[in-house]
């Protein structure tokens, strides 16, 4: 049983379009992180959300943590080819702070 | 460049070989991690070291053996691997062991077991 479900698995859009990807769980996490991973590289942290209902903005990216701290979404406005990559969400579990990752959403933005 | 380097970047080995993966962090962090990233599975945490002590071992088979000689270096020793162990092995470091700490990942070692 996967703890964190990400959807969609794949997304291919044209430059300038908006999109939302989701990260859902039946478990409560004390914090949730979003990463972007480009081919041949390791994941790079985009944001950490901690409080239920929290919304964080990073330029054209908007991250929301669900009120119950079980789910999160990432919205990208006016996508650019440079946004192409694998978007991973990861929830913090346990006192050691170990992260549980979703399988990711592979985003392709075509010029 | 995240300050975490991994060598080699690519490795092909037979099932009877013994090899080691190396990770080095130049960030002064206290915690280091090994993850496995397979094509159809989520990123899986394998081992966590905090201040050179192993604090987590997620039921990883004994054919994977980690070593952390100091807070800047982390190794993963491999022996008698199986083809299903082929994956991208990622190393990460963080200032401490808290989940809200930012983890900085290396570029990974792409391992193929024949």
pLDDT tens-digit map of B1-32: 669 999 999 999 998 889 999 999 999 999 99
Contacting residues of B for A89, CB less than 8 Å apart: none
Q: Do B101 and B95 touch, CB atoms closer than 8 A?
A: yes
Average pLDDT over residues A77-103: 88
Q: Is A101 on the interface with B (CB under 8 A)?
A: yes
**Chain A: residue nearest B57 by CA?**
A98
Q: Is B56 on the interface with A (CB under 8 A)?
A: yes
Q: Is B51 on the interface with A (CB under 8 A)?
A: no
Question: pLDDT by residue (tens digit) across A35-83?
Answer: 999 988 999 999 999 999 999 999 999 999 999 999 999 999 999 999 9
**Percentage of chain B with pLDDT > 90?**
73
Question: pLDDT by residue (tens digit) across A75-86?
Answer: 999 999 999 999
Token duo for residue B17: 């070989």
DSSP calls for B29-81: -SEEEEEEE-TTS--EEEEEEETTEEEEE-S--TTEEEEEEETTEEEEEEES-
Contacting residues of A for B107, CB less than 8 Å apart: 40-42
Token duo for residue B32: 């280091």
């Amino acid at each position: 049983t996967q703890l964190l479900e990400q959807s969609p698995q794949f997304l291919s859009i044209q430059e300038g379009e908006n999109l939302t990807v989701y990260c859902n769980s039946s478990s409560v996490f004390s914090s949730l992180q979003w990463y972007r991973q480009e081919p041949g590289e390791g994941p790079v942290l985009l944001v950490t959300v901690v409080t239920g209902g929290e919304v964080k903005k990073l330029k054209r990216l908007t991250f929301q943590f669900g009120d119950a701290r079980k789910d999160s979404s990432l919205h990208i406005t006016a996508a650019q080819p440079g946004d192409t990559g694998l978007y991973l969400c990861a929830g913090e579990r346990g006192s050691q702070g170990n992260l549980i990752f979703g399988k990711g959403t592979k985003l392709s933005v075509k010029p | 460049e995240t300050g975490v380097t991994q060598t080699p970047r690519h490795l092909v080995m037979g099932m009877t070989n013994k090899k080691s993966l190396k990770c080095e962090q130049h960030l002064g962090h206290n915690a280091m991690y090994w993850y496995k990233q397979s094509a159809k599975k989520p990123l899986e945490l394998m081992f966590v070291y905090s201040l050179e002590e192993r604090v987590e071992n997620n039921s990883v088979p004994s054919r994977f053996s980690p070593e952390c000689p100091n807070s800047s270096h982390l190794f993963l020793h491999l022996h008698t691997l199986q083809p299903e162990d082929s994956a991208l092995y990622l190393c990460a470091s963080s200032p401490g062991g808290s989940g809200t700490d930012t983890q900085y990942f290396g570029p990974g070692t792409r391992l193929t077991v024949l």
